A and B are shown apart, each in its own frame.
Chain A
Amino acid sequence: MSNDLVILKDISRIYHKGKERVEVLHRLDLTIANGDFLALMGPSGSGKTTLLNLLGGLDKPTSGSVKIGDAELHNMSSSALSKWRAVNIGFIFQFYNLLPVLTALKNVELPLLLTNLSAKERKKRAATALSIVGLDDRADHYPRELSGGQEQRVAIARAIVSDPNLLLCDEPTGDLDRETADEILKLLQALNRDHNKTIVMVTHDGQAAQYAQYTLHMDKGTLASRESA
């Protein structure tokens, strides 16, 4: 039985800006094994974020196939993709994207609103996720009352609370100082190592990429090279 979680075949993604045709990804093939922690690096416009969006079912390829687990994302409807994302994907953004009107605990609980869990069970699971990222004492704090690093930890807790296989991180340390960034990266490493999460991390930061098992370098919409840590 194959251990591959992600199989991308002959992926192209073309945008149109007015009359201009922009091919962001060009006939890209990629396989990611279950339990991998990889960094995606490359210059701006090389297609890193577009690739991440395709992996998360936020965007569809112009051509080619995206298979994650048993799901063929390129064939799925918007509604089916939403349901699939809720179960299978955890997103971590550069600017955390927490809802400012909700406490840390309620932010973490958000993805669980899409499940049939009782309110009590949702709260319990959100509290567990917060304790995994070391923020159980900040459960009732609003995002404005947290530091950048703490906000990102809450975002990570939100990403893992529904226990998805795949975590997609878009510049997760881009807004943090070095010391805090290292803490976050260690946390991601622990999630990969101890909880067997497959992690794809887009980054510009070479030091951040060192925490991944390997780094894929992208250039002009293709995979240019692979570098092991």
Chain B
Amino acid sequence: MEGDFDGVDFKNSKIEQKSHPRFTANSVPAYSTVNTRRSFNNPNLSTRNMHSAAPPSLSSLTMEGGHSSTVQPSPPLPKSAEDYVYRTFQYFQGHESNQKDRIAAENKLREILEAAVKNNTITKVDWDHYPLPQDIIRQENLTLSSQKFRTQGVSTNSDAVPFPNRSKKRKSTDTSFTNSSNDATTHGDVSENVPSKKRKSKKARKKEKEAIKRAEQQQQNVDQLSNNTNTFEEALQRRAARFGTGNSTSHPLGPSRSQSPVSTPPKISTQLIDRISFQSHTNNDQTMYQFHSSSPFQASVQHIDTTMYSNSQLPIGQSFYSFAPQPIVGRCMQWEKSYFRLTDVANPKSVRPLPILREAFKQLKLRDDRDYGYLADQYKSIRQDLNVQNIKNEFTLEIYEYNTCLALQHDDLGEYNQCAAQLPALYSKFPGPRKIEFISYRILYLVYTLNLHEVCDLINELTQEELSSWPVQHALAVWRVAHNPIYDGSGNYRDLFILYRFRPAHLQVRLMDMFLERERLLATEKICKSFRPEVPITFLAKVLGFRRSLCVANDDTIYYTPEIRKLLLHPPDKALCRPAEAPPTWAQLLEMTDEVKKWLVHHGAEDYLSVKNDETYLDILKYKNDATKPHAFTIFRTARMAAFKTIDIKGQRA
């Protein structure tokens, strides 16, 4: 698929066109370009809102484009400035940066914006071309480190609006520009090896030289190839056609785009989101193309600066997403991809864009019966692709939810934890219908990992409505009756097993299964301590949750039995109650006792089983007078202690 980009005609006049708008863009007053772009970017805006989850208030405020001031006279933050802020944060979101950098940039950002508002320049500053705070800071650091400019530290005067220093570095940037589109795909990979943040060392300079040399060579190769292949434009059009968007006929980088871009109204409204995000992605693709192509000429420290300036000279459609080094937009066209742990910046060639990821999800759902190893791997790679492209929308939520459930179904707690950990953040942006279900998983998971106190934090974040929903109620009841080994003897075994038998109809059972065993051991231990002289096995089967036919309840069709009703903090309406369960049938009883027997034998209590009048009993007092043999109580105590010991915070057994 990626072959489509190979052999683009780089000598074509399109390159001239391509570089052209950059120079014109500089000569045109900045704010007018901003307006043009606004109108173009409206669809993009909503995509962006989806990505960043800006609340509707913001989008309604800004959807008016350049006229935002008429909607609400007081806010002096123009769209372009918002974009600017957004870019600042997005850089850090997609990027594994340290906290210090982020905070520094944030402070810088506040400073810049405050200064701009104070000086009434907020509408005048060309935000699209304005360097990002993190770049300014980097610039400052560089200036500081080179002794000459020591006194010019920008930090000393916050009122002055610092524009990018036109220093030496700029030159090399420019060079990289002229060459930028020449060796795009051939060198995409090289760029990813460039670390983005370190100072330029001798080694780096040497590398840079080598890179230039290499690039020159490859340039020649490309030149030779170029004559017998498609034009760049054609390639893009074919690509667009493949996605079935059917618009974007003009050259994406041509001058026409920067003035009045085409955006046909969507044919089917439900596909709007797909389409919009796709548009932005195609646009973006070009930029990535450029950005990566220029990188062989960038040595470490310039990496980011270069792309920043390069973006500043592109039409906005591109400049919005394309700050380096992340997020990227992929151009892998195959839906199937196995997970590979990245050690470096992702290669867009092997990253699937959103539409392909949707396709992959669709395909994978059809293959639900394949082995878990395959599915887990596939979903992991989808999550990775979403992550490197910084896609956060309802689809992301769906993937994470689905993957969470999948991992649960296969008792893969490692993956479960990875997926579930992302859900709170996603729910804060897209409150999906399944939120309460996943909250209940979270509570049960905390019970399993014995982080009972964290449930308190969780409760304080819930609304009253969420709190009184059935899954959350159920999980909270489990929390209250579960055992905490630090406080000896806590917990109510029978209540817990009632909650196990009568539970929401989702995957709660999977999580409860994980701590069922240890709670069962504890319950047996308690029974062995307090009952004399023996207990029938049928009794154990009844109170230890061995009963097969489980009462599973859905949220809307639930009818509470009295036992369960008592256990809930917010007992449901009387109307929803039904009579207590009928006692188990004879056949059920047989099955249960069989299972209990197996379980007891498994834990080494075979010796303690005795049969009287056709009933099997657990003989608690056996070996009462024999000091060499343990009591039944001791056996279960040891087993219970071991079972509670081996849980660590990630839910992995030690």
Co-complex (A, B): no
Which residues of B come within 8 Å of A, CB atoms? none
